[in-house]
Structure 1
Amino acid sequence: MRRFLRFLIRFLINLIADVTISGYEYLPQGSFVIASNHLGFLDVLLLFYAIDRPDMFIPVAEKWEKVALFRWLSKPLNLVFIDRFNPDIKALRKILHLMEKGNILVIAPEGTRSRTETMAEGKPGVAYLAAKLERPIVPVGLYGTEDRKVLDNLKHFRRSKIVVRAGPAFRLAPLPARQRDQALREYTDEIMCRIAVLLPEKYRGVYRQHPRLQELLEEGSAAA
């Protein structure tokens, strides 16, 4: 079933989109975290398309567990339903267990699709999870998946131009015992700015003028 679904995803994506992928050389061996921006419904499928590995799993909002199709897809696509608004100990334990087994976690720090078609503010919960896992983090910037653009192209029988770019892996230091809130904010900004540097300027949203992004651009960190 999993193999068939992944084949179906690739077939459908190739049918409706022209996808350019770069940055495979930045994917480390073993277990790691992928942190991506989130523009549209296609984003999750694009990551399965770009990184065709059975050990990859994605946390999704628990509201989708009420949808029969998502419940059916949860096992073959390794979906983990999680409460985005409250501490979800059960889901956290499952994620930690999967990572201990050497799997790949895909997270969207914004928590949901952007309403502005640009980067929204990242949530500190993702930085907490990434720091706790102590795994390499691979930033991924994708664009061209905005729902409005994809639907308009479908109406006119055009394939959407989509870009998926991975950047160099990095690590977060363990969270300090004191001033954790400040550290989480800094960690969140680090993750988001490393994603932003992979995107054209018009997609960088609230991080467009962030000092850390400017540093990364000056360093030439795979800037778009």
Structure 2
Amino acid sequence: MSVSQSIVNSIIKVILRATCKIDTSELYKIPKKGPYILVINHISFLEAPIFYIFMRPRRTIAMAKSELWDKKVTAFLMNLWEVLPIKRGTIDIQGMKNCVKVLEGGDFLCLAPEGTRSGDGQLGSGKAGVIMFAQKGNAPIIPMAHWGGEKLSSNLKKLKRTPFVIRVGDPVEIAVPEGVKMDSTVRQQIADEVMVEIAKLMPEEYHGVYKGKTDVEPQYLRRIKESVIN
């Protein structure tokens, strides 16, 4: 870690500790080394520094919309944290190649399948594009869920610390039966199944569009045995 990274991370960590009560008790479930794809729900800006800082010493590389590099402050943080820019609304070939390189290097690639912040913590539909990264990178997927960050603004006004809960699920891998064509419909089904894995880790009040679907067995995901991980 560079000197600038160490200084900025330390400052942000102090701020986070002062404003939030962060439950990181399940981060031990994540292997110390990759490659793995970490998929999370997307609520607010808060999750980015929390996951980046508290996941250490694991080297995690996240994807983010390229527009974040338009402003000096966010561009500085994105570059400091080695975030990969992704162009939205198009097939970003170079962005995809950069993500695959992260996995080939044995690191953790962080994705938010929803593609945009919910603001209120309710799960939105996963985007099929995230499955392309999982396919190309040929890496297991670890679902992660978090909630509480949606209350940060209101709690700050009340001078209250915000509880921020993180939960980690069992790793899965994409397993498409032989003879099934991997088309856009199947990719969307897989994306939804990944989002259901996230929903299973959360209180029902946050399930959003996946409410009532957590009891359905996945068709294209297969759980990985612990012995394989370790």
In the superposition, the TM-score normalised over structure 2's length comes to 0.86
Q: 1:152 aligns with which of 146, 154, 163?
A: 154
Cα shift at 1:68: 0.7
Kindly indicate whether the alpha-carbon contact (under 8 Å) linking 1:6 and 1:52 is maintained by their aligned counterparts in 2.
no
Unaligned runs of 5+ in 1: none
Indicate yes or no: 2:56 matched with 1:52: yes
Kindly indicate whether the alpha-carbon contact (under 8 Å) linking 2:122 and 2:208 is maintained by their aligned counterparts in 1.
yes
How far apart in 2 are the matches of 1:131 and 1:111? 18
Amino acid at match of 1:159: R
How far apart in 2 are the matches of 1:80 and 1:49? 17
Unaligned runs of 5+ in 2: 218-222, 224-230
Indicate yes or no: 2:130 matched with 1:129: no
Cα shift at 1:170: 1.0
Q: 2:21 aligns with which of 18, 22, 26?
A: 18
Q: 1:180 aligns with which of 180, 183, 190?
A: 183
Kindly indicate whether the alpha-carbon contact (under 8 Å) linking 2:86 and 2:92 is maintained by their aligned counterparts in 1.
yes
How far apart in 1 are the matches of 2:38 and 2:174? 13
Cα shift at 1:22: 3.3
Kindly indicate whether the alpha-carbon contact (under 8 Å) linking 1:26 and 1:169 is maintained by their aligned counterparts in 2.
no
Structure 2 CA distance for partners of 1:49 and 1:32, relative to 1, 3 Å: same
Kindly indicate whether the alpha-carbon contact (under 8 Å) linking 1:127 and 1:191 is maintained by their aligned counterparts in 2.
no
Cα shift at 1:120: 0.4
Structure 2 CA distance for partners of 1:90 and 1:142, relative to 1, 3 Å: same
Structure 2 CA distance for partners of 1:25 and 1:55, relative to 1, 3 Å: closer
2:215 aligned residue: 214
RMSD over aligned Cα atoms:
2.0
Q: 2:110 aligns with which of 95, 106, 129?
A: 106
Aligned length: 213
Q: How does 1:47-126 map to 2 (within 5 A)?
A: 47-53=51-57, 55-126=59-130
Kindly indicate whether the alpha-carbon contact (under 8 Å) linking 2:100 and 2:136 is maintained by their aligned counterparts in 1.
no
In the superposition, the TM-score normalised over structure 1's length comes to 0.88
Deviations 1:144-196 (A, max 9, x none): 011xx211111111100110111111111369772522220221112100000
Q: 1:3 aligns with which of 3, 6, 13?
A: 6
